[in-house]
Structure 1
C-alpha cells in the first residue's frame, strides 16, 4: 500500500481515514448495483413498462429535495448524516429481501420502497461528496476525486456481474440481503473514521437563487448543463431500455441482463480512466462525447447479435463517462464562492434528467419497441451535440456573481 500510495494519482491512499472510507464504499457500491440488476429483473418480470416509473421514483426525490439536502449537509455533522443515510438505505435493502422472501414483492411495494430509497439517496449524495474533502489535505483533492470515481465505476462493473450471478443462481432475494449487509459494514467503517470538523454553516436567504442566476448568466456553465440535461433525459436511459431490449429483442434472460449492465459499466470505467489519462478536456470534448454516444446508441439499436449489442452498450458507457468528466471540468471553472451551488445544480440536472427519462423511455418502448427507443436516444444525442457545438463558449467562463450577463 505504501508503494502504491507514492504515485501522485493515488496519493490520497496515504491518509488512513480516506482508505477506510474507500474500504466501505467499494462493497457498498458493488452490492447496490447488484440490487439494481435484481430489482430490474423483478420489475421486468412483473411489467416491463413499469421499469421507467421505478427509475423515475428513484431519482425524483433528488430533483425535488437535492438543493435542500445540500443546505442540510452544510448545517450538520456530515459524517453522522452519511451514517444515517447509509443505515436507512440498508434497512430498505433488508425490506426488499424480507418482502421478496415472503412472496409479496409486487409493484405497489416496489414503488413505495424505491421512493424511500430515492429520498435517502438525496441526502446520501451531498453528504458523501462533502465528507471526502474533510478526510484529506487540500492538495490531495485531485487524487481523492480520481480514486472515488474509479471505485464507483469498479463497483458498478463488479456489481452488475455480481447481480447477474446472484439472480441466476440464488434469486433476487439473496441479492437484496447481500446489499443490506454491505450497508451495515459501511456504517461500521464510517463510525471508526475521524474527520475534520463540519463547517455547520448558518442559514442565509437567497443563496440557492443566486447560484441559479450565476449558472444561467455564465454561457459555458449554462451550455454544459443544458447538454447534460438533454442527454440524461433522452439519451442515457439504458437502465430502462437495456433490460427490455435484452428480454424482447435479444430473447435473453436474467444472466444476459446482468451482462448488459456489466458491458455498460465496463465501458464507463474505461471512459473514466481515459479521461483521467488525457488530463483536462479540450474545447470540443462535450461535443465529441455526445457524438460518440449517438454512434454507440445507433449501433445498439441496429445490433443483429448479442456481441454487437454489448459492444454498443459499452460504447454508450464510455461516451457517458467522457461527457460527465468534461461537464464537471467545465463547472469547476466557476467562481470559487459559487462552486458548491454550481455542483448542486449539476446533481439536480443529472438526477432530474434521469428521473424524467425513465417514463419517456418506457413510453417510447410501449409505442414502438426497444430498438426504436434506442434509435430515438441516438437522435437526441445528436441534437445535444449540435447544441454544444453551436454554443461553444470562449476560454474565460468564471465571472463574479454580481456581474451583469
Structure 2
C-alpha cells in the first residue's frame, strides 16, 4: 500500500507536504472567512475572491507545463513554493495589523493564484520523477491521502485559531509551513530522480505540439472534458461551504471548518482505497466514469439535507466518490501519455481541472445570492452526473470502456 515511500526522495517530499498542506488548508478556510467578514457575508464577494485565485490558471498553467518538460522541476518547485509561502506572510501581516481591506485580499488572491498556476503542473509531473512509472499510481494515491489528511486537520485547526486569535495568525502560520516542503526539496538527491530527456523545441512549438498530441487522442479528450465539468461545477466546495455554514445553518468559523473536515474524512478514505487498488495494476477507465457519476448523485443528496448534522454526514460519501474520480483520472491520464509530453498534458489537465474555477465561482456565487446556498451544490451535482453519462456513452461507442484503458 505504501510502496512509493521506499523512494528516499519521495519520503522527503511527502514529509514536507504533510506540514505545508496543513497550513494551506488552514489559510483557505481563513481566507474564505475573512472575505465573508469584510464583505458582510456576501456570497458574491466570496465568489469573486475564488475566481481571482483561480483565474491565473487560465493564463499560466499551459506555459508552466512547457517549463516542466524543459527545465529542472525540483528547482522550479523550490521557487514556486517559496513564493506561495511569502503570499501567506504578506496577507497575515496586513490582517494582524488591522490594515486588511477587501481589495487587498482580492489582489493577494490573484497573486497567490499566479504562483499556484505555475506550481500545479510542475508538481504533478514531478511525481513520476521521484518514484518512477511503476509506483506512479501508488504515489498519486498517497499524495491524495496527504492532501486530504491536511484537509481534515487544517480547517479544524483554522476554525479554532480564528475563534481564539483571528484570521491573521492563520495566514502567518501557513507562510511559515512552506519551509517544510522547500526543505524536503533541498534535501533530495537529484541523481536518484527518474528524469527523461528535456524537450528542445521553442516554447510556442512545445505548447502547440502538446495540444496536437491531445487532439489526436479522442478518448483522452473525453476524459479531460469530464475533468473540466466536475472540477468547474461539481467541486465548488470553496464558496458553497462557507456560505452554507454562515448563512444557511447559522454556524461560525468552527462550524465551517468542520464541514471541510467531514468532506476530507471521505476523501482520505477514498485516497486510502485508491492506494490499495494501486497494487492491482493501472487504473481502469470505467472507474473514472463511475466515480464521476457517483459523485454527482451523492452531491445531489447532500445538497438536499435539511440540517447541519445530516449535511455534514452526507459529505463523507461525497468525499469518497470525488477522490475515486480525481485519483483515477489523474493516474489514467499520466500513464496514457508519452514521458516527453507528460508536463504539457498535465498542464492542460490542471488548466481544465482548475481553470474553470473562476467561471464556476462566479456562477455559483450568483446562484447562491439569488436562490440560496444549496443551489450551487445541486447544479454542480447535476452537471457532474450528466457529464459522466455522456462520457460513458461516447467511450462505449468507441469501445474504450470495454478495454478499460486509454492506452
Instruction: Please indicate, yes or no, whether the TM-score normalized by the shorter chain is above 0.5.
Output: yes
| Correspondence for 1:67 among 62, 69, 72 | 62
Which residue is 1:3 aligned to? Answer: none
Which residue is 2:263 aligned to? Answer: 264
Which residue is 2:298 aligned to? Answer: 296
Which residue is 2:209 aligned to? Answer: 210
Q: Does residue 99 in structure 1 map to residue 89 in structure 2?
A: no
Shift of 1:134: 3.6
- Matched ranges for 1:196-345 at <5 A: 196=191, 199-204=197-202, 205-279=204-278, 281-332=283-334, 334-336=336-338, 337-345=340-348
**In 2, distance between residues paired with 1:315 and 1:136?**
30
- Matched ranges for 1:52-131 at <5 A: 52-131=47-126
Name which of structure 1's ranges 97-106 and 162-171 shifts more when overlaid on structure 2.
162-171
Which residue is 1:28 aligned to? Answer: 20
Per-residue deviation, residues 133-155 of structure 1 (Å, max 9, x unmatched): 44445544444333223212212
Whether the aligned pair in 2 keeps the contact of 1:220 and 1:330 (CA below 8 Å) is no
Alignment: residue pair count: 391
- Matched ranges for 1:13-24 at <5 A: 13-24=5-16
Q: Does residue 385 in structure 1 map to residue 388 in structure 2?
A: yes
Change (3 A) 1:192 1:284: closer
**In 1, distance between residues paired with 2:337 and 2:64?**
22
Residue 203 of structure 1: SS of its match in structure 2? coil
Residue 395 of structure 2: SS of its match in structure 1? coil
Shift of 1:325: 2.4
Per-residue deviation, residues 266-293 of structure 1 (Å, max 9, x unmatched): 2111122223334555453333223322
**In 1, distance between residues paired with 2:388 and 2:229?**
10
Change (3 A) 1:328 1:15: closer
Name which of structure 1's ranges 136-145 and 50-59 shifts more when overlaid on structure 2.
136-145
What is the TM-score when the length of structure 1 is the normalising length?
A: 0.89
Whether the aligned pair in 2 keeps the contact of 1:240 and 1:358 (CA below 8 Å) is yes
Name which of structure 1's ranges 10-19 and 131-140 shifts more when overlaid on structure 2.
131-140
Whether the aligned pair in 2 keeps the contact of 1:335 and 1:398 (CA below 8 Å) is no
**In 2, distance between residues paired with 1:390 and 1:322?**
20
Q: Does residue 156 in structure 1 map to residue 165 in structure 2?
A: no
Per-residue deviation, residues 321-341 of structure 1 (Å, max 9, x unmatched): 111123224324534254443
Whether the aligned pair in 1 keeps the contact of 2:69 and 2:344 (CA below 8 Å) is no
Shift of 1:28: 0.2
Q: Does residue 362 in structure 1 map to residue 361 in structure 2?
A: no
Per-residue deviation, residues 175-195 of structure 1 (Å, max 9, x unmatched): 111111111233233223222
Whether the aligned pair in 2 keeps the contact of 1:87 and 1:187 (CA below 8 Å) is yes
Whether the aligned pair in 1 keeps the contact of 2:125 and 2:343 (CA below 8 Å) is no
**In 2, distance between residues paired with 1:84 and 1:112?**
20
**In 1, distance between residues paired with 2:244 and 2:295?**
17
| Correspondence for 2:3 among 11, 20, 45 | 11
**In 1, distance between residues paired with 2:183 and 2:139?**
21
| Structure 1 unaligned regions, length at least 5 | 1-8, 400-405
Name which of structure 1's ranges 16-25 and 205-214 shifts more when overlaid on structure 2.
205-214
**In 1, distance between residues paired with 2:97 and 2:198?**
44
| Correspondence for 2:34 among 38, 42, 48 | 42
